[in-house]
Structures are given as structure tokens and as C-alpha cells.
Structure 1
């Protein structure tokens, strides 16, 4: 009997690691933290006001509070409340309940959208008065549903990192800090809440998020938080494809992609994301090209220029296409068919790892397929290429190949001059010594057909 009891306690995780965390509330006044009501978006202020007038509590929470403390501009504002999703939905005409794994409400104010979540709990009290885990999880510990509602003190233990567990009250302009998140922000420390292995198992995306946030916010990952990262990398295989792609895209578009990818490689977290990154950096001839792409992407984001995910993934996967292309040509396949075979090979390999949505997939293939056309600089071919709707993306891609040393820089300079030259000058720039295509003699063919008739 005693053996069964202890086995039940320890093997089934009778008490979650988060249950062992004892929140210690510290209220930080505005004059100390510096955040004022005007720093919050009008839509978020309106939502918190309506919730409070209806008798509920409401706080700005998560990344918005963290970013404001770091002097950054939040991309969005999230709200946490003790109101249930259905109660929130009833208060706002332009709102909708979303999510099955984690139910929350989107409230729309004109073009702005605020995400409102209900305080969560990691356990519930059963009929015997004992706390029990109440969550749907797979065999690896990943939580499939987390819709047990609780108090604010319980909710703070369900969040990922201490820096994301700060609650800001717009009415009093105070920050409610239960887990020393404010101190961690000041000391530039990224610390997970609870027992790291269990928390990563509950949501493996936190593994990638830790690396991304550390790079983005210029923080050091706490030793205990960082220790199991590499060992738990295989858990990423169990994450739904859409969630994994979204997190990888956040990394690549964070403005710190080069640092993130370098850190991912150093911690052994790159396996299964992109084929090239699965190879050792000393053996991969494409890492120079990858570094160039990531640095250029970071520079564009810092300059607030647009970045195309299609272009980015086409660049990251190009070396694999190039290797397969050369292999097919070495086997005797002609240039263009060999390239299309290589593209098919790469798309098939990538789908086994990180599934890229088709809306990006098609553009990637166009950029790759257009690369041989830049070699044609005679006749009408350059003019037809200039008119292609993907010319600019393919041209920028070709320039990166030039900068990395893959192809001659002279090709990039010629195309740069050609597209900006006057029509008369463009004609003079055309190459005359390229072998023209053989055309069928239609006149003779038609004459022979007429004789037969």
C-alpha cells in the first residue's frame, strides 16, 4: 500500500514543480519603474477599464511590461484577468474566443487587437480535497490543453520566464511582481519559472524562445535554465509544424538572427530545423553564405525595411539546392532539368523537418529557378527577365551569391548597370558571342505540309 502511494506521488507527478514555487508579491510604484498610463495603447486601456467596471481584475501582462521596462516599444499588449472567456466575450461586441489548447479572447478596437487571457492554474482540488494535476499532456509531457482557471498567484507560476511574469495595473500605475522578474530585468537575467526540464517538456517551444529572448534583449540565460537545453532538443520534433515554423520565423525576423543561429548551433539546438544547420560548421561551405544572409536580414530589420520570409528561407536552403544541382549535373543531367530535380529534392527533405507554408514555398522555387537566367545576356533574354514579377527578389538573391564568392561579381555589376541603363545603352551592353538557339524552320515545315495536301 505504502509503495503504491509513493509510486503514485512521484511517477505521476502528484505535485507539479510549479506547486513548489511560493509567490512573494512585491508592488513596485510608478516613480521607481517609470511606466506611465500613456505608455499603454488606447485599446488596451479601454479593455482593462471595461473589465474593471464589470467587477473583474485586469492587468497588462507579459512582453509589453518587459519591453517598456527595457525602453523598447511593445509590438502588442496582452491582458490577464479573472474573467472567464465567455464573460469577456459578453462584454465586448467586437471580440471572439480563439484557441483550443489555450482558450483566450481577441478584442478588436478599430485596427488594433488586444489578447485577453484568463488566469490559469496548474492543478485543481479533487473531491478528497487534494491538489491534482489537471492537464492533457502527451507521452513526452507536452501540454495539449491548459484551460484550468485559477487565481493570479497561480497564473504567475504558469508563465514561462520571470521577466514575462510582471503585471501592470493601469489604474494605479503599479507593477505587481511575484517572482522577482523586475530584479531579473535589471540584472539582464533570463530565468525560467519552476523546474526547467518539466517546464520545457510542457512546451518545447520555450527552448527556442529562451535563445531568441536572450539574443533580442541582450540577456544572459541563467545557468539552471540553460543547462538542459541541448539535451531536450529532440522534444522539438513533437511540436505542431505551424507553431514550430512561427517560432523559427520569429527568430529569423528578430533583428538578431545571426546571434540566435550561432547560439542555436553552440547549444546543439539546430537539429531538425534546416538541413544545412544539421551539418558541422567546419564542413559546411554554405555557412559563409548563411552568415551573410542573416547579417543582411538583421541590418534591414534594424533599418525598419521589409524582409520577405520567402527570400530568407530560399537563402538559408540554397546551399543544399546547389550541392544537389551539381550532383545531378555530374550524373549527366542537363543544367535546367538538374536544377529542377535539385529543387524537388530540397523541398522533399525540408518537409521532413520544418514544414514551410506553401505561400512561401512557391516563391522560393521561383527565385531558385530564375538563377540560371542571369547568365543569359544576349538577344531578348535580359529584357524578358527584367519584366518577370519576381525579378527583384531573384536579382537580390543573385547579388548575395556574388558577395559570398559563389559566382563572379562581374555578373552582379553587369545586371545592376543594365537595369538602370537607357534603352539604347542596354542594346550596346548585350553580349554578341553567345550561341543563339536553333529555331525550327516553320516556313519549310509549312511548305512540306502544303505539298502533302
Structure 2
């Protein structure tokens, strides 16, 4: 297949908008005699006048050859063998051009560790080296199959991605049913790209997602956790969530939660306001850790579960911890939420009852405790959404003004983002 090639004068991609680390990797590979392309989302975003979050490189050098070339390199992954080239504050992910998954896995019988496919069709391991064209055609969507050639500064398109960028379409490369069976997480990625870029999902791909959504049960739960964070921390969380609804992907991801929403669509109001708040925080450059994300998204559902346990005679504190822990442990079958995050969400919800205790020294002790800030952000958000506890909110807001800042944030040595959190606004 002859690719579409845009010369330097015909596109927007410039080296000045590419990270210096990525440029160094590209030139080092080129100078050593290898083909070196900037690949994937970085090229897509530069063509859309967006700032890429990261830059990936594709080359015909093998992982072992790359490791010999860069002292600051480590090889990662079994499913896809990759080279991570480490710079201060940045990792340039460098992959070897790969060939498409063959129809007959026995074709690679002599290739050690090359290919492994599950009965469902999901690819468990794929390390079959190929050409730039083959590499482009094995990527998920046409808009992610674009290359920037450092040798002549051209943009190379084997899959029709340039046209789809113009038409604002998410199109699967190849037959959608087969490609989603190979990697079910591609369905979630389609929803994320559609929501975050403001694109539409091409008709055949959209119908395929709706048919194959249950394949998500085959996806690795740890990878699903990473993808969920990308969904809701992308800065366009509400639009992404609406695509999850449209494609019905929410059900295999969060089964009980989605059925609870189906019982009363008014419950979407809390979720939409949560996601709008997340988007405002991200657009303001504020970092929100996963525990607060899960506490807010599932907040109204957790309150529903807590109230049922309280009506059965359990104390509010115990009910909160039991309900939240039980729900988050259940979803770990599909989305493996780390234990530390589960315990932090339990703390946020179980601490809500403490906001009603305003007598004596209890408020001062609570406001100086480790988990106060997260709990307060949740309390403030729920107060504004439900128009409740307004006098209590005023009390705690005023009390915070009289407490030194260094006693309000967590003192955990490994929580680098804590200093970002004390002044996170709730609108």
C-alpha cells in the first residue's frame, strides 16, 4: 500500500512542539542507521493543535538493540516488549515495528515468545516484528496510526487517519469485531477518544462495541484500573461518560452501579456534576488522586448502600466502611482498585458522620487529622449538589480558616500530590 505523505510545508508538526527527550531518541536512532518515527497519539495531537501528554517512538531497531544504544533504557512488558528510555521527569516509550496478528498462530511456531492468543480471541502476547506499514495497520484506530519521520520531517499515513482527523471520526483499522476480540480495552479507548476529542465513532465500530461489550470481562483488571483513570482524568470526563452510556460499556465495567442508575435516571445528576467538577479541576491543572475520584463518582450510590445498612441497625461509621469496602472489592473482579485506594475511600465515607459533631474539642481534632481534607472535599461537594447541611458547611469552612495549613494535608512521605490538594475549589 502506498502511504499518503505530507511534506514539511503541508502539515503543522514541528520539532519545537516535540519534547527534547523524544527528539534526542529519534535522532540517535536515525544516526545509528535505523528508521525512527514519532508515532501514535503524539502525532495526532500535534496535527490537532493539542499538547500531547507523551511522545512515543517507533523504529525498526529491536528492543535489545535499543537497550545497547541507550544506557538510560530498560525493557518492559511481556505482552508487548517495549523499551522505556528514561530522562529526568520523562519516559520515551520506544517500540519495534510490529506485524499484524496472523490468522494462523502456528505461523509463528518458531518465534520464541512471539504470539499467544486466548480462546476468546484476545491477544496475550504479540512480539512479531514487521514493517512500518504493518505496524500502522495493526494499531487500533486510523487517527493513531500516523507517523512523523525525523529524517525528512514528513507525516506518513498508511491507514487514512488524516482524512478521519478532518472528518472527526474514530475508525477501527480492520474488522471491528476481530480487533475488539484481540484487545477488548480498545472499546473503552474508542469512547475516551470520542469524548476527549469531540469525535464520533464510526457506525460499524459503534455497532461492534455494543455487540461485544461483554468481552471486557477478559481484560486484565489491573489494566482496566489504569484505563478508568484515563477516562475520568482526561479533562473531558463528562463527555467520555456519555459515550460509555451510549455504548453500554458501563455495565460490564461497573455492573451493580450501572443497574442502580438504570432504576432511576435522575441519579445521573450527581455523576454528571461530579464529572464536571473533575473536568474543572483538570483544566485548572489540579491533581486529584484516585481515592477522591472513586469517592465522588460512587458517592450517591455508596450513600444509598450505607442508608440500607443503617436501617438494619448498623452504626453510620460501620455501615459506611462495610458498604464501601464490599462494593469496591466486588468491582475488583473487573477493575482492580488497589487496597490503599479502597481504604482511603472507606475513610472518606466513614468520616462524613463526624461533620455533624460540632461540640467541644472534636472539631479541632478532626480538622487536624490525616483524612480530614479528602472527607471535607466530599462533604462540601455533596452539600452543594444536594443543597443540604449548608450551616454545617459554613461552620467547617470558617473553622478551616483558623487552622494552620500544614496540619490539614496528609503527611505521608509518598504522597507527592498532597500539596496540590488543600485549596482545591468546589464550584
TM-score in terms of structure 2 length? 0.88
**Structure 2 counterpart of 1:291, from 262, 272, 276:** 272
Structure 1 residue 74 displacement after superposition: 0.9
1:130 deviates by 11
Is the Cα contact below 8 Å between 1:41 and 1:77 reproduced in 2? yes
Counterpart check, 1:150 vs 2:137: no
TM-superposition CA deviations, 1:370-419 (whole Å, max 9, x none) = 10000001011111111112211111100111112173222212211222
Instruction: Give 1:266 deviation, angstroms.
Output: 2.0
Number of equivalences = 400
Contact conserved, 1:276 with 1:319, CA < 8 A, in 2? no
Trace 1:11-410 onto structure 2 (pairs within 5 A): 23-122=1-100, 135-274=115-254, 275-281=256-262, 283=264, 286-405=267-386, 407-410=388-391
Return closer, same or farther for 1:83/1:407 CA change in 2, 3 Å cut-off: same
Change (3 A) 1:243 1:123: closer
**In 1, Cα distance between the equivalents of 2:108 and 2:354?**
70
Which 4+ runs in 1 deviate beyond 6 A?
Answer: 128-134
**Counterpart Cα distance in 2 of 1:28 and 1:204:** 32
Partners of 2:155 and 2:182 lie apart in 1 by 27
| Aligned-residue RMSD, C-alpha | 2.4
The 1:132/1:217 distance shift into structure 2, 3 A limit, reads farther
* TM-fit CA distance, 1:321: 2.4
Q: Deviations over 1:303-327 (max 9, x none)?
A: 1112221101011222332222222
Structure 1 residue 123 displacement after superposition: 5.3
User: How much has 1:79 moved relative to structure 2?
Assistant: 0.7
- Note the residue ranges of structure 1 that are not aligned, 5 or more in a row: 1-22, 424-453
Q: Structure 1 residue 78: deviation in Å?
A: 0.6
Distance (Å, rounded) in 2 between the aligned partners of 1:144 and 1:151: 21
* Whole-angstrom CA distance in 2 between matches of 1:174 and 1:217: 24
Residue 27 of structure 1 aligns to a residue whose secondary structure is strand
Give SS of 1:255's match. Answer: coil
Give the 3-state SS of the residue equivalent to 2:52 in structure 1: coil
8 Å CA contact retained: 2:35, 2:60: yes
What do residues 230-282 of structure 1 show as CA deviations (whole Å, max 9, x unaligned)?
A: 11111111111111111111001011111111221122110132332233445
Quote how far apart the aligned CAs of 1:225 are: 1.7
Classify the secondary structure of the residue corresponding to 1:232: helix
Query: Greater CA radius of gyration, 1 or 2?
Result: 1
- Compared CA separation, residues 131 and 358, structure 1 to 2 (3 A): closer
Task: Please tell me whether the aligned partners of residues 324 and 345 of structure 2 are also in contact (alpha carbons under 8 angstroms).
Answer: no
Deviates more, 1:325-334 or 1:276-285: 276-285
* CA distance in 2 between partners of 1:32 and 1:86 (Å): 36
CA contact (8 A) 2:108 2:115 kept: no
Q: Distance in 1 between matches of 2:388 and 2:266?
A: 14
Output one character per residue of 1:112-149: Cα deviation in whole Å (capped at 9) or x when no partner: 221110010125799x9999997311111100011010
The CA distance in 2 between the partners of 1:365 and 1:358, in whole Å, is 11
SS in structure 1 of the partner of residue 251 of structure 2: coil
For 2:68 and 2:185, the matched residues in 1 are separated by 32
Alpha-carbon distance change, 30 to 414 in structure 1, aligned in 2, over 3 angstroms: same
